[in-house]
């Protein structure tokens, strides 16, 4: 048993070192998927958050329906719908299918984050803006949204991390991100456990880096808010 343990971990470290270039490229693709999908999801989420707090019933219904559909269906189904649905209309790569699917999914959760943070701003802020002659839209853009974004940053950071890990589902439509590379190497060597652990190391590194970036942004915005 002891010799098997030593042999396994020896093979793991060897795989980790020898595959660094392969997984470095896969990590870049994973980061690209995450960055593109989250960038789109922020705008999608903000749009549906504004619809939900608009006090216009049809717009609220549209936002609620979108959020309900995303919450009620598995992410892998949403990605497959984008992949097989969009490719019937446009020639679109697996990368963009996954990016749009992840953006569609994360947008619903980001919408609820933005909605909560916007509604947490006191009504006095809106009244102050209107008393200065600002329109409702201008008050929202210059006064409410900057404060709301600062409050939304911690849960947004968590959603970004979830989005990064969810990008592993891109493997199911042939996008060579970290999980896809790990399963391919596992199939080639008949040693899935070693390669899945290698992929876990890279995910942990990326999550650590993303957490660090979000923490730095939080500190910077906290300082600018105090000023």
The 10s digit of each residue's pLDDT in 19-34 is 889 999 999 999 999 9
H-assigned helices in the chain: 2-18, 20-52, 57-72, 75-86, 94-119, 123-131, 136-139, 145-166, 178-189, 192-226
Residue 199 pLDDT grade (very low, low, confident, very high; cuts 50, 70, 90): very high
212 lies in a domain?
Answer: yes
How far lies 44's CA from each of 24, 102, 111, 123, 143, in Å?
A: 30, 11, 7, 25, 21
Task: Decide which of 159 and 90 is more confident.
Answer: 159
Residue 102 pLDDT grade (very low, low, confident, very high; cuts 50, 70, 90): very high
115 lies in a domain?
Answer: yes
101 lies in a domain?
Answer: yes
Instruction: Find out whether 102 and 41 touch, Cβ atoms under 8 Å.
Output: yes
Retrieve residue 15's tokens.
């795989």
The 10s digit of each residue's pLDDT in 123-170 is 777 667 767 767 777 777 777 888 888 888 888 989 999 999 999 999
Q: What distance in Å separates the CA atoms of residue 195 and residue 227, rounded to the nearest whole number?
A: 49
9 lies in a domain?
Answer: no
Q: How many domains does the chain have?
A: 1
Q: What distance in Å separates the CA atoms of residue 97 and residue 6, rounded to the nearest whole number?
A: 42
Domain extent for 134 = 22-221
4 lies in a domain?
Answer: no
111 lies in a domain?
Answer: yes
Global pTM value: 0.87
36 lies in a domain?
Answer: yes
Q: What distance in Å separates the CA atoms of residue 145 and residue 200, rounded to the nearest whole number?
A: 37
Instruction: Find out whether 108 and 48 touch, Cβ atoms under 8 Å.
Output: yes
CATH number of the domain enclosing 102: 1.10.3720.10
Task: Decide which of 85 and 108 is more confident.
Answer: 108
Q: Is 196 exposed, middle or buried (0-12, 13-18, 19+ CB in 10 A)?
A: middle
16 lies in a domain?
Answer: no
Q: What is the pLDDT of residue 159?
A: 92
């Amino acid at each position: 048993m002891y010799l098997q343990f030593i042999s396994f971990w020896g093979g793991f470290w060897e795989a980790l070192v020898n595959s660094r270039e392969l997984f470095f490229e896969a990590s870049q693709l994973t980061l690209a998927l995450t960055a593109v999908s989250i960038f789109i999801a922020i705008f999608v989420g903000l749009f549906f958050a504004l619809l939900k707090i608009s006090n216009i019933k049809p717009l609220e219904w549209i936002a609620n329906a979108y959020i309900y559909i995303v919450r009620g269906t598995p992410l892998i189904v949403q990605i497959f719908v984008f992949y097989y649905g969009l490719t019937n209309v446009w020639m679109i790569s697996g990368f963009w299918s996954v990016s749009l699917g992840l953006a569609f999914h994360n947008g619903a959760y980001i919408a609820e984050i933005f909605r909560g943070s916007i509604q947490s701003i006191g009504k006095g802020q809106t009244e102050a803006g209107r008393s200065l002659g600002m329109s409702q839209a201008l008050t929202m853009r210059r006064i409410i949204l900057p404060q709301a974004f600062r409050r939304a940053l911690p849960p947004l950071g968590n959603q970004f991390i979830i989005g990064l890990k969810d990008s592993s589902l891109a493997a199911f439509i042939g996008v060579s991100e970290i999980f896809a590379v790990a399963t391919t190497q596992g199939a080639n060597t008949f040693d899935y456990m070693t390669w899945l652990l290698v992929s876990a190391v890279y995910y942990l590194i990326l999550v650590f880096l993303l957490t660090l970036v979000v923490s730095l942004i939080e500190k910077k915005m906290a300082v600018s808010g105090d000023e």
